[in-house]
Amino acid sequence: MNLILSRPNISISSLYVWQRHRDVFFKIWKTESLGIGLEPWIVILAMGFGLGQFVTLDSGEKYVQFLAPGLMAMFPMFAAIFECGWGAFMRISMHGTYEAILNTPASIEDITTGDILWGTTRATLNATYILIVLLILNHWTDAVNSPYAIGIVFVAILQGFLFSSIAIAFAALARAMSHFGYLFNIIVMPMFWLSGGFFPINELPEWAQNIAWFLPLIHSVELNRALLNGNLTLNMIGDFFWLAIVAIAFYAIALVLMRRRLIV
């Protein structure tokens, strides 16, 4: 009870934690930038044009047009979950990085928040980069059809925060690296397939569609789709609030679980 009711103790230190992650990223960036940089090109070309040749959609869109909003939801989700899932688990359980930071004025909430903000940053960079690639290829893809597309950056921030919080809550519970199999197979992959990012889900049985509605990813895909096409609807308000509610809930859960994990 104590754990839940105590006031979260957040300070400027969460920024210092974020800066630590940024510094590490700049270090590995030099060696990994080629892979990170090429990935969206390959995916868009392979899936959009390769796979796209075999797909015809009822709506008459090109497959790459259908796929684009999903890519800008799914890849940022993976980035956030990777940073705050595996990454945080190693920092908690294997390298003692959290223990070391806790010896400074930083609190557990600062560390958790700094990690989540960094996961959010990665997700946002990721979505922004895919948007840029799509813009460069837009002559062939026709995926970006409205200046509202810039709003995708904000969707990425919101869902980045959400998925980072989920991942860090999970990292606080995990006792072994292999437990991440559960996160991936039970939470991430079903969300991935049911997000309506790869194929339209309105052909699925109704119960599956109902479940899908509660999974946050589908709402990021819907928001991205509306922003890319420029046809804003009232549904977007529902999408936005559901993402925000789930994000806040999981942030709170992450704080509680991290306190439980780190206070002995």
Partner 1 sequence: MNIAINASNLSKHFGNIVAVDNINFSVHRGECFGLLGPNGAGKSSTIRMITCSSPLTSGQLIVHGLNVNNEQRSIKSHIGIVPQNDNLDPDLPVKQNLEVYARYYGLNKQLIRRRVEEQLEIFELSDRANSPIHSLSGGMRRRLLIARALLHNPSILILDEPTVGLDPQARHIVWQQLRQLTKNGVTQVLTTHYMDEAEQLCDRIIVINHGKILAKAKPQELIQQYVGNNVLEIQNFSNGIELLKRSLDFTIEYEIFGDKTNIYASDDNLLTISAKIKISNKSNLRKANLEDVFLRLTGRRLVE
**Residues of this chain that bind partner 1 (CB under 8 A):** 11-13, 16-17, 19-20, 23-24, 27-28, 95-97, 99-107, 263-264
Token pair 């990935």 in the structure block, residue: 39
Q: Which is nearer to partner 1, 13 or 112 (CB)?
A: 13
Q: Which is nearer to partner 1, 17 or 228 (CB)?
A: 17
Contacts of 194 (CB under 8 A, 6+ apart): 201, 204, 208, 211, 212, 215, 217, 218
Q: How is residue 49 written in tokens?
A: 């044009």
CB of 236 to partner 1, least distance (A): 39
User: How far is Cα 232 from Cα 76, in angstroms, rounded to an integer?
Assistant: 22
CB of 97 to partner 1, least distance (A): 6
CB of 94 to partner 1, least distance (A): 9
Q: Which is nearer to partner 1, 99 or 214 (CB)?
A: 99
User: How far is Cα 29 from Cα 63, in angstroms, rounded to an integer?
Assistant: 32
CB of 80 to partner 1, least distance (A): 18
CB of 28 to partner 1, least distance (A): 8
User: How far is Cα 164 from Cα 247, in angstroms, rounded to an integer?
Assistant: 9
In the chain, DSSP assigns E strands to: none
Q: Which is nearer to partner 1, 24 or 186 (CB)?
A: 24
> In the chain, how long is the greatest CA-to-CA distance?
59
Q: Which is nearer to partner 1, 97 or 112 (CB)?
A: 97
Running DSSP on this structure, what letter comes out for residue 183?
I
Contacts of 232 (CB under 8 A, 6+ apart): 148, 226
